[in-house]
Amino acid sequence: MEAFINHLTSALQELPDDNVTLEGQEQYGNIYTAAGIITNGIANQMAYELDKQSSYQDKLKEETKTLATQNSGTEFFQVRSQSLKERRTNCQVNLEYIQETLDICSKLYKQITGNTWQRYVKQDPHLAEKADLTQGKLEILEMLIEDGVDLTPEQKEQYAKLTAK
């Protein structure tokens, strides 16, 4: 693993970190250079793989619980038990390697860009529209309250949710 990490580090450090316009540099630093983009991409992929392996590890834990209730001592049970043990070990090793790679990429990203690496989170494309609708709904409910109108139970619930913070 150490050889891989050394090779990865060297390869990422060899990427151009100055292929950005002056305006881009002033606004974003080095995050949109080849080095920044590629390091960010690898880090995000490792974060994704870490989630997948963690889910797989949870699945293996559930499988272990199930297998524990089926202890029959048969050869089939022993084969399943050995397979499960190997898969659990392999999963743990994968998790450690993925985490180590993610940590290295995160540190390199900081060195390359000057920014702390942050995991990509898909944004709802309608988020602003929903926020506008929510604000509009709150304003309407407040106008009804100002006018002395009794809110319906549903409207009261909506108002409570919109004003709870």
> CA angle 104-46-120, nearest 5°?
100
Residues 9 and 88 in one domain: yes
In a domain, 121, yes or no: no
In a domain, 99, yes or no: yes
Instruction: State the angle between helix axes of 75-113 and 2-14 in degrees (0 to 180), rounded to the nearest 10.
Output: 30
In a domain, 122, yes or no: no
Question: In the chain, what is the straight-line distance between the N-terminal and C-terminal CA atoms, in Å?
Answer: 47
Residues 134 and 69 in one domain: no
Give the alpha-carbon dihedral of 34, 36, 40, 41, to 10 degrees.
0
The pLDDT, as a whole number, for residue 105 is 92
In a domain, 118, yes or no: no
**Mean pLDDT computed over every residue of the chain:** 84
Report the number of distinct structural domains present in the chain: 2
pLDDT in tens, 104-149: 999 988 988 888 999 887 776 655 555 665 777 788 888 888 899 8
pLDDT of residue 48 exceeding 90: yes
Residues 107 and 55 in one domain: yes
pLDDT in tens, 60-69: 999 998 888 8
Residues 56 and 133 in one domain: no
Domain of residue 138: give its range.
Answer: 127-163
Give the C-alpha distances (Å, rounded to integers) separating 5 from 40, 86, 102, 103, 104. Answer: 16, 25, 10, 10, 8
pLDDT of residue 77 exceeding 70: yes
Answer whether 98's CB lies under 8 Å from 4's CB: no
In a domain, 45, yes or no: yes
Tokens matching residue 98: 């993925």
pLDDT, average across residues 149-162: 85
Residues 67 and 15 in one domain: yes
Residues 31 and 106 in one domain: yes
